[in-house]
């Protein structure tokens, strides 16, 4: 299934944000806590840390795309086997 990365709420009034930049591309390894993306909300840029270690399987929001708090933004596969299974979906 993979680890689903959701957009967290960084501030009391934050309702949505845009993906300014993906720091890790699909297919690349990532460590828990490593910056996955830079997001922008209300003209403030913040780092979105990865909640898990593994391989970035999919970006679910394009660079520049707007996403609501709590929505899925990426999927992280635990290993190569899980990455292959996710790619087949």
Total number of domains in the chain: 1
Report pLDDT for 81.
Answer: 81
CATH number at residue 66: 2.40.50.100
For residues 8, 12, 13, 18, the Cα torsion angle rounded to the nearest 10 degrees is -20
Cβ atoms within 10 A of the Cβ of 84, count? Answer: 11
Cβ atoms within 10 A of the Cβ of 24, count? Answer: 19
**Please, what are the averages of pLDDT over each run of 10 residues along the chain (89 residues)?**
89 91 96 97 90 95 96 92 73
Residue 61 structural domain: 3-88
Q: Are the beta carbons of 2 and 68 closer than 8 angstroms?
A: no
* R_g of the chain computed on alpha carbons: 13
* Backbone dihedral angles phi then psi of residue 67, each to the nearest 5 degrees: -135, 140
Q: What is the pTM of this model?
A: 0.89
């Amino acid at each position: 299934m993979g680890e689903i990365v959701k957009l967290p709420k960084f501030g009391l009034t934050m309702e949505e944000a845009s993906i300014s930049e993906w720091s890790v591309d699909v297919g690349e390894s990532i460590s828990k806590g490593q910056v996955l993306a830079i997001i922008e909300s209300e003209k403030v840029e913040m780092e979105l840390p990865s909640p898990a270690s593994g391989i970035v399987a999919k970006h679910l929001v394009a660079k520049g795309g707007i996403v609501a708090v709590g929505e899925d933004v990426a999927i992280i596969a635990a290993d190569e086997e899980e990455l292959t299974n996710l790619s087949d979906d």
